[in-house]
Structure 1
Amino acid sequence: MPPAGRSDDNPFNLENPSILDIAPPEPKSLEETGLKMGLLSDIALKFLYYSGTGTGMAIAEELCLPWPGVIERVVDFVATEKLVDLRGGKGFGRASVEFVLTEKGREYARDALTRTTYVGPAPVPIDQYNALITSQTEENPVVSREDLLMGLSHLTVTEELLDKLGPAVNSSRSLFLYGPPGNGKTSLAEAISRMFGGEAFVPYCLEIDNQIIKVFDSLNHSPVPLEVGRDGAGRRQTFEMDHRWQLCRRPAVVVGGELTLETLDLIYSETARFYEAPFQVKANGGMLLIDDFGRQKVHPTDLLNRWIVPLEKRIDFLTLHTGKKFEIPFEQLLVFSTNLDPKELVDEAFLRRIKYKIEVKNPDEETFRDIFQRVCEAVGIPYVDQAITYLIEAYYKPRNMQMRACHPRDLVSLIKDAARYRQIPPALSKDLLDQACEVFLVDL
């Protein structure tokens, strides 16, 4: 029997094994990389410049390209140009021979560093990237009602909200979550991202016009091990793909008040002399959440106007510091989350382009009690329904106060603090509830 979670058709234990059908194949020649000899030799020379020496295989591992047919030719080229010397090595074959820069090679490396300081995995040409990302979108799984229920099982969600979220999630287009603060809009968006499941291919970096754009970001991309799997008989299986790409969990990029128009285009470092990809490129194949929309330094209308073409055409346009513009896919679920009235933020024309506008309302009393019970169970405090009745009758109704989904969590946290101070077990007692409400609900 195959190990749990694996099968003959899924030896690598992937959530979406069909993603491997579009995996970029390992290039067998320099031509298949889509890159010029000059760019690859520059990266190899800079690697040797920083490391002092390196074998052919070390160069191949640094550039994430195979030795035969690719790095072998790069090394032949720099050796022919007398940019490197052989220092010797262990084993047989040139792959295990150590190379060191000649004085001419050091000059070439320093010159290459004036153009860009980038050293690492070789970039993926923009045309190869665009083709794979477009194909990858066709592999997006359908999120069923059961998937939705499971993905939101840790939250209390009404049937009405559930039936609105389902089609929006499967659209993989755009979603506007709005409503009063504290009702779980961000939690919903994060749960939606996890619900997508599956994997996506992310390149370490891109190349266009010999310019390098760094895409892979360890804060937003979680690699999936894909070195060795086992089939149903327990036999080891390997999967060879282009190692300039990483198979990652579907990205979920969250940005808030730090978002500006500048961060939605390429960010060029004058010091490093290469680019950092903007948020929407890092989110390709997953979700981009604009949290607290309307709280950014840039005006919401200007920010939203930036999204009009990507939302309609599913492509974005980025600009190099040379002034050249180029196309790149815009393939993600774009989620806006705001506490403000959407009509006060944007005009009707833009709202029409956002296909799904879903209000996340204040919980009713039944939902409020259910949330309180879940919170109590999570922290090990006995739930007492009469205590919630007291809370509502003594505090919410007399003050005409709206219940919020975050209140149970916050009140229970305060009850625990008070109980710890008094050195008594936390409980939904009148004394502890009163103490929590007096410091928490006073200004609400």
Structure 2
Amino acid sequence: MSWLHDNPHIKTIRVAASDLNGVARGKRMPTQFAQGIEEDGTRFPLSALNLDIWGEDIDDSPLVFEAGDPDGVCLPTERGFLPMPWLDNPSALLPMWMYREDGRAFDGDPRHALAAVLKRYADRGLTPVCGTELEFYLVDDSGKDLQVVPSPRSGKRRPGAEILSLRALDAFDNYFTALYDGAEAMDIHAETAISEAGLGQFEINLSHSPAMKAADDTWLFKLLVRGVARQHGFAASFMAKPYPEYSGNGMHVHFSVLDKDGNNIFDDGGPNGTDVLHHAIAGCMNGLSASALILAPHGNSYDRLVPNAHAPTSICWAYENRTAAIRIPGGSYKARRIEHRVAGGDVNPYLMLAAVLGAALTGIEDAQMPPPPITGNAYDQGLPQLPSAWGDAIDLFESDDRIARIFPAELISNLVATKRQELQAFAELSPEEQIDLYLDTV
């Protein structure tokens, strides 16, 4: 209660957990109930974390009618209360995660899935450190068709992309200032902002942090980016491909792994990196097809994964090459790391980091070795390809043994049922309805 005591202007609180799609599910209540929530948690149906993208129950889910739709117990994460700067009335958010009545972690909770992967690292004396790069579009969705937001400075709509343009950033200076102020208030360490290759597209990098904080920061930052945009009269969207003719939104993740003494186990003091780095690369590559459903979770996601559109389509790795799915950036050897470039902006950050770090750990555990790194344009080399269809990705995720090493069986079956239900309904939507579906939800 100390944070609320120091912030007496807060009048309402929200308690929320992430469902499998990364959507915040929760409750609103007056602050007078905060102490009880902090001490004892609150109750949600277990099925609340296994809804489809429309927020509907999953047909024939064992969590619903078969089991009597029982409650789970949601307890606060270590994050504690956070301000919600995008709301007009002073409010605070308390992030939660789900447990069963008997105290066991609920295996259908994506945050617990990441925690289980991180425990496997910790059991080996290892700590992953991650930083995410979030791409998003600022969009005027007030009319029938999406448009670039008019410049608040000139009132003009810029007709094309402006890569690394200070003019584009300066046009939305009030928005970005509010965004950075909000991130600071929420203890999210936002770094560089740039304009990107799409029409009204931007990217913000979050600082490298222990993996769970990185996932929390990313989940919370997406809420902040969208909320502050609405405050300013437009939308911000992380959907994978809002404009067919422009680049999609990615969420690249950079990660290294530290030993118990804080040493980077990928750094050998030279340009190649350690054997462990190569084991992790191999694990990431070998897990790409099976984890495509996590990295590209929605119908729109596969519109992004096309050749020559700034998104990787080939299963390969390389040093300092942005056409590869797995890139080893240049720079200081002490900062030797893997950049995993496949995920879209529409992912659930907890599942994405669990899939990426889990695949890397599988490679480390099995001492796998990758093929030689590529050079040149990966799109032109006839390499093995990522799944290009949503249904194929669902089938691979359900059946692959590597996924079973990373995720609990309950989460696998829940996610597969969710995505099959969404796949069937998505096929009946018009292109306009598909955009309306994903613009604000993912």
- TM-score, structure 2 normalization: 0.22
Structure (1 or 2) with the larger CA radius of gyration? 1
